[in-house]
Structure 1
Amino acid sequence: MASIRRRKPVEPRNTSVQKEDEDEDEEEEVEEDYSKNKHRRKSAKKSKPKWSCVDNCCWIVGCICVTWWTLLFLYNVMPASLPQYVTEAITGPLPDPPGVKLRKEGLKAKHPVVFVPGIVTAGLELWEGHQCADGLFRKRLWGGTFGEVYKRPLCWVEHMSLDNETGLDPPVLIANLARIGYEEKTMYMASYDWRLSFQNTEVRDQTLSRIKSSIELMVEANGGNKAVIIPHSMGVLYFLHFMKWVEAPAPMGGGGGPDWCAKHIKAVINIGGPFLGVPKAVAGLFSAEARDIAVARAIAPGVLNNGFQTMQHIMRMSRTWDSTMSMIPKGGDTIWGDLDWSPEEGYTPMKSKQRNTDTQKASQDGPESEISQTKRANYGRIISFGKDVAEALSSDIERIDFRDAVKGQSVANTSCRDVWTEYHDMGFGGIKAVAEYKVYTAESMIDLLRFVAPKMMERGSAHFSYGIADNLDDPKYQHYKYWSNPLETKLPNAPEMEIFSLYGVGVPTERAYVYKLSPSAECAIPFQIDASADEQDEDSCLKGGVYSVDGDETVPVLSSGLMCAKVWRGKTRFNPSGSRTYIREYAHSPPANFLEGRGTQSGAHVDIMGNFALIEDVMRVAAGATGKELGGDQVYSDIFKWSEKVLYSGLSICGNIHSRVLTIAATTVDPFHVLVAPCPCCG
């Protein structure tokens, strides 16, 4: 039987004690939670990956790619007129393209047109290659997007290089001409392999013969209207060679006879023509550099020199291109100056220039450039080892002749065969001798290149010459090696033919260089432009180891303009039939915004092909206008003044022997003014 028992009632605890117990429990829970959280944070830190430099790079690349594809998508989906609308909103209404403008004026196609491209404006396709070039048959290795350079660079270098012993193998303007009626039968692109020497393009590809046949056929098919030839850049020298080749008897020439040009050519419109070469070619052959490359080489020397051996590969490849030797400055010290003078002395970058189209006024007075009141630039010193040498008086420069220096085999020679250049056969003694000569002018530069690159210059000497002819009737000048040098040949006997020189001005253009010895490294090129050689004066012509003059960024005005300004002007020994010559300069004006692309008023060497004013001049001549109807000369630079100085320095255009008499007299206008007694005929 269950029983019920009475329990003793529980006495209530003291509230203060109960509260203390509760507080203790809470503190224990807090401490426990804190320790757990601390443990979690430690484990989280251990498990969380670090944000490395590679992650940062990947993130940046990803952002760039996303931004690029977004902009590309927007560009493709936006209306075609939107960029033009935005540009017009910023800069005002755009002018009509030259083709539209001239069609409204009633101009029509008349003379057949032949284009002769230069290096940049030409294209090269692969027709036969090595195993590494599988899948590239009939693909462009030059003149396209250069995609293969990035995919297989060494294979590209191998196919672009020529044999070091033989020198052979181991379009905006066109659109505007089409608007006034030009078509395939009235236009011809005279493409050629610009890597080869000019005569070798005939030996290997019969290119000169094809140009001759094409011009003859076009003239006949167009009712006897003579052709207008439009060479650009190196194409200018190539067509000079062609005009002598076509007249010369076979087998060396084309057998066209002395009147072939008079029968078939109305005008030759040379664009950006390096008639007398470019100093930029010297830097390219000597150290595989130009202004921009020198800056990059100074910023990241390990990458270009030793990391990927980029400079060595470029030099090895470019020294097999015989055509580059056609760009070496011609005329020696008479044209380009010596240790003490140059035609451009006193020049400083132009702030502004008033347009001057009066030929007589320009030739007599010449627009004056601003004269530097600080340091005189010795442009005749094309290469100087050290800024102090470039600025020193010639009497203070102690030089040791390098020509008899003994070459020795360098240590690097046995381990650099993949990037071999002729520097690796010079030895340290030869390299030291080059630097100890200290300064090189246009004449000694030829000897320098023969010393540092004998195989290259041996091939080049068989195809090109760089002097000034004393007697153009000497039979030796009938050889093709002289045909691309306008100072050693006569123009064709074509008195009705007109010769134009169209080029840009107002862009700093390389003229002379300050060099230094490179830090000794295995397989490295031993010389480089001294990018630290600079002047603080913003008006100085010396920037980053490069002295600049007026030009189109590649060709100085002196080279583009001297022949048409003076040497060929009128009847001279270089132009015995008196073909008329004209200069048309185009002041450089960069695009106002990025939507304009390269701009329509550019004077840069390549971008000038899209210059509306130049295109209009070309089209008017092609449609039948003469140089006089264009307005004669259009001059912004000091080319007439500089050409007078060249004549005074000893260049004879009449056949008389000139004696060079220079008297330096300071004046308020020109502190380095040259007073001379000019030749009665040439002056």
Structure 2
Amino acid sequence: MKWVESPEHGKGGPDWVENHIEALITVAGTHLGVAKAMAAFLSGEMKDTVQINPAGAYVLERFFSRKERQKLFRSWAGSASMWIKGGDDVWGNATWAPDDLDNTTHSHGALISFRNNSVGIDGEDGLFNMTSTEAGTWILERTPTTFQKMLASNYSFGLERDVEKLKANNLDFTKWTNPLEIQLPYAPSMKMYCVYGHGKETEVLSPTPLTPTVTLSTHTPSQRSYWYTQQEYEYDEVQPDQPLAVCTDDTGASTGADCVSPRTPLDLPLARSTHIDADYTDDATRPKILNGVKMGEGDGTVSLLSLGAMCVEGWKRARWNPAGIKVVTVELPHNPVATIPRGGGTTSDHVDVLGSVALNEIILKVATGAGDEVTDSYVSNIREYARRIKWD
């Protein structure tokens, strides 16, 4: 919408959205970024890759290694839009996070943590548990300059509170993917609907003469933060960034698909291999840790803070919503059908929610002019979590 309004791009003018858009529905919107994107950029990993069985892990590493996945994720410029936004004011500090549970053992505010036995703790590498801001800097230090330049020239991940700067940011395309640094269009008659899933899994066993009806209700968690470890030294990706780097193949020619940049004699492996500590599992902690992944609330992929904080709190403030656009939030409980692989019409898992009957009913109501029938509906504590964020 900022693109179409911009005088340098869409040239639609400041009233284009008001005149042409009746309603906007964000489905499982990653408004404030995704924690798994940070792990993917750092080490080519995420919950999906560390929680597979040993045989699957071997095959994956053999044919599509962490290094290869890491390079692939970094090569997709658009994926950087999922870098988490807002810094420590949104995601918490070293000891606290807005979505921490009561009596938490390990705060989600530490986006990347290391166990005391990790290589480099209190040693030459100076490792420490990192907040989202510290982790972002640490990750960038381990990426090629090409990725760093791409990120700096296309994206911004801060939190802007000054209204005049927010107005100026409306014309800065590097801010457009960050709702914390721009304002919603001035479209008072437009309506917004935030619809996303929240993890509750229910299984009902069919009753028999010897088996009473049993309902199991458990929380289906999302990856929220990570435990990492370091291993042996390895070469980093600095060499290809050097001004005089030359790509040659085995014959010495400077062309060819298999060419590589030769390393100088003193180019030693100085960077330690860093990856998720998949050996670390502890169900007794709060939040529980599964294969190095600290689990939190969400839709299985996206953290609850990213899904709903802007909808229930951020866009309720005139600073980011000057026209007072009405924002309705609908949380869909995750109640998959056990016999259907993708969960059926009652799932609310990320992506699979597109097959949700409740979601499609909402879309049809909005599209047919009955959007007023859609009202706020919550199954999580997102309003409480959002109030804890340092908006001011």
Q: TM-score if structure 1 supplies the norm length?
A: 0.46
Q: Which amino acid aligns with 2:28?
A: G
Q: CA deviation at 1:300?
A: 6.8
| Distance (Å, rounded) in 2 between the aligned partners of 1:302 and 1:541 | 25
Residue 180 (structure 2) pairs with residue 487 (structure 1): yes
Distance 1:451 1:481 in 2: 21
* Cα distance in structure 1, aligned partners of 2:342 and 2:53: 28
Letter in 2 for 1:651: W
Aligned counterpart in structure 1 of residue 23 of structure 2, from 257, 262, 267: 267
| 1:580 partnered with 2:326 | yes
Q: Does structure 1 conserve the Cα–Cα contact (< 8 Å) formed by 2:44 and 2:71?
A: no
| Residue 104 (structure 1) aligns with | none
Structure-1 residue corresponding to 2:230 = 517
After TM superposition, give the deviation of residue 592 of structure 1 in Å: 3.0
2:110 corresponds to 1:381: yes
Q: Report the Cα offset of residue 483 of structure 1.
A: 0.9
1:470 aligns with one of 147, 161, 164? 161
Q: Summarize deviations over 1:274-300 as a string: whole Å, max 9, x none.
A: 000011100110011011312349667
Tell me which residue corresponds to 1:312. 67
- CA displacement 1:203-222 (0-9 Å, x = unmatched): xxxxxxxxxxxxxxxxxxxx
Distance 1:636 1:323 in 2: 32
Aligned residues of 1:311 and 1:525 also touching (Cα < 8 A)? no
Query: Paired residue for 2:361, among 611, 616, 621?
Result: 616
**Cα deviation, residue 317, structure 1:** 1.9
Give the aligned CA root-mean-square deviation in angstroms.
2.5
Equivalent residue, structure 2, for 1:176:
none
CA distance in 2, matches of 1:455, 1:521: 20
Does residue 4 of structure 2 align to residue 249 of structure 1?
A: no
Q: Does 1:633 align with 2:379?
A: no
Matched residue type, 1:444: E
In structure 2, what is the Cα distance between the partners aligned to 1:387 and 1:498?
50
Q: Which residue of 2 aligns with 1:333?
A: 88
The higher-RCO structure (CA 8 Å, 6+ apart) is 2
Which amino acid is the alignment partner of residue 35 of structure 2? P
Conserved 8 A contact 1:534-1:544: yes
Shift of 1:376: 1.8
Specify the alignment match of 1:439 in structure 2: 129
Q: Secondary structure at the match of 2:22?
A: strand
- The amino acid of 2:388's aligned partner reads K
Give the deviation of 1:473 after TM superposition. 2.1
User: Is the 8 Å Cα contact of residues 276 and 331 (structure 1) preserved in structure 2?
Assistant: yes
Aligned to 2:240: none
Judged with a 3 Å threshold, the aligned counterparts in structure 2 of structure 1 residues 601 and 538 are, in CA distance, closer, same or farther, namely: farther
Task: For 2:307 and 2:354, locate their aligned partners in 1 and report how far apart those are by CA, in whole Å.
Answer: 16
Distance in 2 (CA, whole Å) between partners of 1:528 and 1:320 is 19
Note the C-alpha offset of 1:518.
3.4
Alignment of 1:10-409 (within 5 A): 243-250=1-8, 253-296=9-52, 303-305=59-61, 307-308=62-63, 310-346=65-101, 371-372=102-103, 376-386=105-115
**Cα shift at 1:526:** 1.1
Contact 2:161–2:319, Cα closer than 8 Å, also in 1: no
User: Within 2, Cα distance between the matches of 1:331 and 1:563?
Assistant: 11
Q: Report the 3-state secondary structure (helix = DSSP H, G, I; strand = E; otherwise coil) of the residue aligned with 1:280.
A: helix
Query: Once the 2 structures are TM-superposed, how far is the Cα of residue 345 of structure 1 from its aligned partner?
Result: 1.2
Structure-1 separation of matches of 2:353 and 2:232? 39
- Whether the 8 Å CA contact 1:345–1:376 is kept in 2: the answer is no
Q: Structure 2: how far apart are the matches of 1:562 and 1:309?
A: 36
Richer in strand (by share): 2
Report the CA distance between 1:256 and its aligned residue: 0.4
Once the two structures are TM-superposed, the CA of residue 310 in structure 1 deviates from its matched residue by 2.4
Give the 3-state SS of the residue equivalent to 1:452 in structure 2: coil
Please report how far the alpha carbon of residue 602 of structure 1 lies from its aligned counterpart in structure 2 after TM superposition: 0.5
What's 2:241 paired with? none
SS at structure 2 position matched to 1:513 = strand
The SS at the match of 2:75 is coil
Residue 209 of structure 2 aligns with which residue? none
Is 1:552 aligned to residue 295 of structure 2?
A: no
Letter in 1 for 2:7: P
State how far apart, in whole Å, the 2-side matches of 1:546 and 1:577 are: 40
- State the Cα distance separating 1:544 from its structure 2 match: 1.3
Structure 2 CA distance for partners of 1:442 and 1:536, relative to 1, 3 Å:
closer
CA contact (8 A) 1:344 1:379 kept: yes
CA distance in 2, matches of 1:303, 1:495: 54
- Going from structure 1 to structure 2, the CA distance change for 1:267 and 1:300 (only over 3 Å counts) comes to closer
What amino acid is the match of 1:606? V
User: 2-side partners of 1:643 and 1:467: how far apart?
Assistant: 17
**Structure 1 pair 338–623 and aligned structure 2 pair: CA distance change class (3 A):** same
Contact 2:91 2:98 in 1 (8 A): yes
Say if 1:456 and 1:615 are closer, same or farther in 2 by CA, change over 3 A.
Answer: same
Residue 315 (structure 1) shift:
1.7
Partners of 1:494 and 1:388 lie apart in 2 by: 55
Question: What fraction of aligned residue pairs are identical, expressed as a percent?
Answer: 31
| More deviation, 262-271/287-296 | 287-296
CA deviation after TM superposition for structure 1 residue 551, in Å: 0.7
Which residue, out of 518, 526, 530, partners 2:273? 526
For this pair of structures, how many residues does the alignment match?
334
Aligned CA distance change for structure 1 residues 386 and 313 (closer, same or farther; 3 Å): same
Distance (whole Å) between structure 2 residues aligned to residue 284 and residue 312 of structure 1: 10
CA shift, 1:535, in A, is: 1.4
Residue 258 and residue 440 in structure 1: after superposition, are their counterparts in 2 closer, same or farther (change >3 A)? same
Aligned partners of 1:277 and 1:327 also within 8 Å: yes
Aligned to 1:621, what secondary structure does the other structure show? helix
**Paired residue for 1:34?**
none
Q: 1:299 to 1:383 in 2, by over 3 A?
A: farther
Aligned equivalents of 1:518, 1:265: Cα separation in 2: 53
Maintained 8 Å contact 2:50/2:57: no
Match of residue 592 from structure 1? 338
Q: Is the 8 A contact 1:297 1:304 kept in 2?
A: no
Which amino acid in the other structure matches residue 277 of structure 2? D
Deviation at 1:532, TM superposition (A): 1.8
Letter in structure 2 aligned against 1:518: Q
* Contact map agreement 1:472 1:488 (CA 8 A) in 2: no
User: Is the 1:298–1:531 contact (alpha carbons within 8 Å) kept by the matching residues of 2?
Assistant: no
Gaps of 5+ in 1: 1-242, 347-370, 390-396, 401-431, 653-683
The residue type equivalent to 1:449 in the other structure is I
**Alignment partners' CA distance in 2, 1:267 and 1:387:** 51
AA in 2 matched with 1:638: N
Residue type of the partner of 2:328? Answer: Y
Cα distance in structure 2, aligned partners of 1:337 and 1:444: 11
Residue identity matched to 1:329: I
Asked if structure 1 preserves the Cα contact closer than 8 Å seen for 2:105 and 2:286, the reply is no
Do the aligned partners of residues 539 and 292 (structure 1) sit closer, same or farther apart at CA in structure 2, a change above 3 Å counting? same
Q: Secondary structure at the match of 1:526?
A: strand
Structure 2 alignment gaps of length 5 or more: 200-219, 237-270
